[in-house]
Amino acid sequence: MLLTDLLKNGIYDDARVITGHKGLVREVQTVNIMDCPDIIHFLRPNELLLTNGFFMKQQPEMFIQLIRDMQRLKCSGLAIKTKRFELPIPDEILWEADQNEFPIIEISDVRLSLGEILQRSTSVILNNKSDELQYALSIHKKFSEMIMRGKGISSIIDSLSKLFSSPVVLLNYKWQTISASSQNTSVAELTAAAVNTLQDLSDISSPTSLCFINPSVRERCCMLVYPVKTYRNEGYLLSFHSPDQWTGLFGLTLEQASNVIGMELTKSQAVKERSRRHKNEFFSDLIEGYITSEQEALNRGKRCGLIKGRSSVVLTMRNDEVHHMHQRFPNYEGSAPPKGDNVTEQEEQYEHIKRVFGGLDHSFVMFTKHDTYCLLLSIPESGWDEAKITEQLSGMLRELHHETGLSLSIGIGKPATNVLGVRHSYTEAVNAMQFGYWLKRKQFVQSYQAKDIGYLFHMLPHNELKQFYDATLNGLLQIADEHEKKELLRTLNAFYDTQCQLVETSKQLFVHRNTVVYRLEKCEKILGVKLKDPTESLRIRIAIAIEPLLLQ
């Protein structure tokens, strides 16, 4: 209990505080009696020391040292019977104690002996502790009943706010507001000030009390912070109040509320994880071929929203950094289900993806398989517009990267007309994604149907491709002027892309038709071939298609 509350008890009716009045708000946990000069070695923080001052009269120089040592140890104060041995307290000691806000209490007029004061004070502290425990139990029970009645965490926050007559806020570990008391208009301003202050602290793993110096929040200049924990740090429970509002029960109430909120979050996480695990296990069995009956698949997948006769398509997503790390280090743990802090990271990524991709025109079910995030998109009756969905997905990948820094790539499988076809759509999506990574790309959307001739080229040795490329375009590659070489190759590419139409080629290059004719004639001369010859044109077009692969 606070020292000022202890002194209000009848035990200390005739006691008088002679210095250190500001320190009366110190907490008292125990009371002790001094009967030897080395008592400091037996004292503990938050302990009130009783003495008759006998040894101080014999060794006055030890008095001020005792006061300094008790202040350093954060003791509650010193209660002394100065009249017992006519012990004077020098002004130097009174001044230093007052400067350090260390209370010295004169108890000469208290008719009880030191032993009786000790016994009765201890009894008062124990009774107060018992009252606190009863209060804590009743508060915990009240909040638990609110949760059991389904009122949720927000009801606890509002209840706390009404109890304290002050704003209360629950933040997550990223300093985002989960819930805030609704009856206070200044919550947003107070929360912003609190976050700015708390972010500068190195450790908030235990209850913390702070005061603001920001004049804009002067009315609520004090703040109590209690961490909310499950198996990890979930966030912080904050209450704001003015100094005159403070009572010792504020912290006790917040502590019980944070415990109940932590248990509710643990329960919610367990339900969510169980549901997600059930969903992942079902899709894993479906994809790996353990489910062979469509009826069994529909029965087990009913919770996931699978409907008979509904066409769907699988999208697979992977973190680019994890993929490339796995390519460099095959034993990299990112390929396995993450553990410890990585579980939190994967959950965050999962929620970010689910939120951003919620803007798709298609309803979907999301699940994970190892380090791959999967979306099973339902195809509407209007049909499957792959070009439109690809454009949407590309925009969402950019949005996700901008908001979170997360770099993902997507593979799209072919539509499945029944539930069992999901297995093949997943395999196609994974293959499409692997092909995109094979091209050493990032943040791409790769369709299984979009594989082109480059896929075949990748199956050939790099040196063979290089030899073919050099042999076919050798003359052009030897041109010293880089600009001229680049323009001739660009003209060749445009010429073949427009089916050898001179007018279309000139339009695509934004040059005059005669310029195109001049460049093409120069290419024929350098290469020693007729550009419209079917065999030579095929050879040149293959060489042009190979060029991007050689630069990877």
CATH number of the domain bearing residue 295? 3.30.70.270
Q: Cβ(114)–Cβ(50) under 8 Å?
A: yes
Statement to judge: residues 184 and 319 lie in one domain:
no
Does residue 195 fall inside a structural domain?
yes
Flag whether pLDDT at 315 surpasses 90: yes
Statement to judge: residues 421 and 468 lie in one domain:
no
Strands 47-51 and 30-33: parallel
Does residue 295 fall inside a structural domain?
yes
Least confident of 68-72, 130-134, 502-506: 130-134
Flag whether pLDDT at 105 surpasses 60: yes
**Residue of 540 and 340 predicted with greater confidence:** 540
Does residue 137 fall inside a structural domain?
no
Statement to judge: residues 298 and 264 lie in one domain:
no
Nearest to 282 by CA among 300, 305, 302, 308: 300
Domain count, the chain: 4
Measured in degrees and rounded to the nearest 5, phi and psi for residue 347 equal -60, -40
Q: What is the pLDDT of residue 488?
A: 93
Statement to judge: residues 361 and 382 lie in one domain:
yes
Q: Has this prediction a pTM greater than 0.85?
A: no
Q: Count how many Cα atoms sit within 13 Å of the Cα of residue 265 in the half-sphere of its side chain.
A: 21
List alpha helices for 40-148, DSSP H: 54-58, 61-72, 91-99, 114-148
Which of 451, 480, 507 is the C-terminal boundary of a domain? 451
Average the pLDDT over 239-260 and give the result. Answer: 78
Least confident of 242-246, 503-507, 511-515: 242-246
Average the pLDDT over 45-51 and give the result. Answer: 92
pLDDT tens across 387-440, in order?
Answer: 889 999 999 999 999 988 889 999 999 988 888 889 999 999 998 898 888 878
Statement to judge: residues 244 and 376 lie in one domain:
no
| Tokens (6 digits) for 218 | 């002067």
| Tokens (6 digits) for 442 | 């990032």
Cβ within 8 Å of residue 209, ≥6 positions away: 222, 223, 224, 225, 251
Statement to judge: residues 438 and 298 lie in one domain:
yes
The neighbour count for residue 294, using CB atoms within 10 Å, is: 13
Q: What is the pLDDT of residue 338?
A: 40
Nearest to 171 by CA among 110, 238, 233: 238
The neighbour count for residue 104, using CB atoms within 10 Å, is: 21
The neighbour count for residue 256, using CB atoms within 10 Å, is: 23
pLDDT tens across 163-187, in order?
Answer: 888 888 999 888 888 888 876 667 8
**Residue of 347 and 368 predicted with greater confidence:** 368
- Residue in the block written with tokens 């196609």: 428
Which of 451, 482, 501 is the C-terminal boundary of a domain? 451
Average the pLDDT over 460-469 and give the result. Answer: 86
CA 363 to CA 381: how far, in whole Å?
13
Cα-based distances in Å from 229 to 212, 262, 549? 25, 5, 52
Statement to judge: residues 431 and 326 lie in one domain:
yes
Nearest to 148 by CA among 60, 308, 260: 260
Measured in degrees and rounded to the nearest 5, phi and psi for residue 453 equal -65, -20
Q: Cβ(31)–Cβ(50) under 8 Å?
A: yes
CATH of the domain at 242: 3.30.450.40
Does residue 281 fall inside a structural domain?
no
The neighbour count for residue 526, using CB atoms within 10 Å, is: 17
Statement to judge: residues 313 and 430 lie in one domain:
yes
Percent of the chain with pLDDT over 90: 32
Q: What is the pLDDT of residue 327?
A: 54
Does residue 131 fall inside a structural domain?
no
CATH of the domain at 48: 3.40.1390.20
Average the pLDDT over 456-477 and give the result. Answer: 85
Q: What is the pLDDT of residue 453?
A: 67
For residue 230, the SS3 value is: coil
CA 168 to CA 182: how far, in whole Å?
9
Average the pLDDT over 508-528 and give the result. Answer: 92
The H or E element containing residue 236 is strand 233-241
Q: What is the pLDDT of residue 247?
A: 64
Statement to judge: residues 464 and 536 lie in one domain:
yes
Statement to judge: residues 294 and 336 lie in one domain:
yes
* 274-279-283 Cα angle (round to 5): 150
Least confident of 70-79, 212-221, 332-341, 370-379: 332-341
Q: What is the pLDDT of residue 71?
A: 92
Statement to judge: residues 438 and 536 lie in one domain:
no
Which of 418, 451, 484 is the C-terminal boundary of a domain? 451
CA 292 to CA 496: how far, in whole Å?
49
**Residue of 534 and 338 predicted with greater confidence:** 534
CATH of the domain at 543: 1.10.10.2840
Does residue 186 fall inside a structural domain?
yes
Flag whether pLDDT at 145 surpasses 90: no
Statement to judge: residues 78 and 100 lie in one domain:
yes
Does residue 146 fall inside a structural domain?
no
Q: What is the pLDDT of residue 251?
A: 79
Does residue 251 fall inside a structural domain?
yes
pLDDT tens across 439-452, in order?
Answer: 788 889 998 865 56
> 227 has which bridge partners?
236
**What is the pLDDT of the chain when averaged over all its residues?**
85
CA 449 to CA 412: how far, in whole Å?
8
What range defines the domain where residue 420 resides?
288-451
Q: How far apart are the first and last CA of the chain?
A: 72
Laid out side by side, the sheet with 47-51 consists of 16-19, 104-106, 77-80, 47-51, 30-33
